Chain A
Amino acid sequence: MNGNQIIPTYTLNLEGEPCPYPVVYSLDVLEKLASGEILEIIADCPQSFQAVPEEAKRMGYVLLCEPVQEGPIIRFYILKP
């Protein structure tokens, strides 16, 4: 999917949050979303760069595009199917 077409429903800002909270918060929010809603996750803890998408995919959520990295900050767009 082209990034410009993604319209997120919510933004979860995880800047400054250390482990394990990025993964815990992300999965918690994703679970509470309605089907078809998109979560935008902003993170800056490098460990969450791998753990968040990996765990989201494992739980059946869809990573809509490659994570967008702006310097030390990363953004994920995840769909609840």
Chain B
Amino acid sequence: MLSSITSLYHKLFDKFWNPVLVTVIAGVLSALYFGITQTYWAVTGEFTRLAGHIMSWFGFDPHQLSYMKIMKFQGSPLDRVDGWVVSGMLLGALMSALLGGNFKLRFPHQKRRIVQGLVGGMIAGFGARLAMGCNLASFFTGIPQFSFHAWLFMLGMATGSYVGVKAALHPLLRGKPRLEKASPGTRNMQSSRSRVQPVIGLLVFCISIGLIVWEISGGHSKLGLAGIFGVAFGLLIQRGQICFTSAFRDLWVTGRGTMAKALALGIIAATLCTAVIIYLGVPQKIAWAGPGALIGGLLFGFGIVIAGGCETGWMYRAMEGQIQFVIVGIGNIIGAGILAWGWDHWGLFASLVKPYPKINLVSELGWSGAILSTVGLMLLWYAFASYWEKHVRYKANQKGQAVLMQANVEMKELS
């Protein structure tokens, strides 16, 4: 019995999981989550509400902002479904990082990375909320809602991340690698794992279960369920290293299409399952399809590449002990707060969002049209990623380079 548990543990936590498998499971789970809670898997809405709490600490009443009314800002995170899913994700990712022995406090040794994390995080948080969601609500769970705004967001994100890569590889940001002559002598070539971390991971697991059981037995079964889904999502994104940022960024940096293809398949799974849930009568979530979604996507795509990770990305990396991503998270909350302010005060809603329709592909194209076009878009993206992988290599070969978008880092150590 004990030996079979140990072998299962090693099977699950020695290596990271196949990203295609993980995105497909996440896609199916996100549809179930939508069916149970009637809201989609999202995180930045909750970040906006956190910004609201911070505003009230400084004596500003966030209830005056119309954006906070749209976000149904009330209570504390523990009274809200999104609050439980976010907390669950953090706990799930922490548990997963510890069980896998991946936890380590990591500080960026180049100070510019801290600025990048904060500024990139702010731009991404602002952009995501302008588009009414990050690459969950406006992409991974937004596209399966058949809301056309997610298509605009995806287009904006693809373009913005390309510009972001150009900026991230600019001499100001790319910095210098730590390259040295290798020290002589033999190296320990035996892999080893932490023995303590899995025990703490198990403890985090028990605490999570305890909190959820306590919430459900207190009569808040929906919140408890959101917590369970959150833990599962956190486990999945950490184990699969599901970085939505890299789905776009890697295409532009080296032509790597692994994550892009995995996400395309995950979104197809989510689309088919979400369609069933909607058909059974759960109302869709449709957002304004206008310049807000497009510009929001552009800013978001740019910001996440500069920061090094998007909302889900920072959540699991912060739990792995990567300090830079704690800063990205703080940036996200500030950015979302600025947007909530500018929504009224800079007329963002009146100019970029309000005049434009909420386009529901199901009512526009019918069920078959909506499903075929959405699945078609994802297949097209998959095909583009496959083509692009080969195209980048071919172009680079022609130029006699290893990669197309070179960083041209100067290395004195090599001369």
**Interfacial residues, chain A to chain B (CB-CB below 8 A):** 3-4, 6-21, 23-25, 27-33, 38, 40, 44-47, 49-51, 54-55, 58-59, 65-73, 75
Contact = CB atoms under 8 A, between A and B. Distances in A.
A34 to B, nearest CB: 9
B74 interface: no
B177 A28 contact: yes
A27 B254 contact: yes
Interface string B395-409: 000000111001111
Contacts of B183: 11
Contact of A71 (B101, B117, B324): B101
Contacts, number: 161
B16 A46 contact: yes
A28 B189 CA distance: 25
Chain B residues touching A, majority SS: loop
6 contacts: A9-B182, A11-B180, A18-B324, A24-B254, A25-B407, A28-B407
Interface of B: 16, 101-104, 106-110, 113, 117, 165, 168-169, 174-175, 177-184, 186-194, 241, 243, 245-246, 249-250, 253-254, 256, 258, 305, 308-309, 317, 320-322, 324-325, 393, 401-403, 406-409, 411, 413-414
Contact of B103 (A33, A54, A70, A72): A72
Contacts of B321: 72
A10 B180 contact: yes
Contacts of A68: 187-191
Nearest to B182: A8
A32 B106 contact: no
A46 B177 contact: no
Q: Point out which of B104, B110, B180, B186 has the most chain A C-beta atoms below 10 A from its C-beta.
A: B104
Nearest to A60: B402
Shortest beta-carbon contacts, A-B, top 5: A3-B189, A18-B308, A72-B104, A8-B182, A25-B177
Contacts of A71: 101, 104, 192-194
B191 A70 contact: yes
Contact of B16 (A45, A50, A65): A50
A69 B178 CA distance: 20
A22 B192 CA distance: 22
A24 B101 CA distance: 26
A28 B406 contact: yes
A36 to B, nearest CB: 14
A70 B188 CA distance: 9
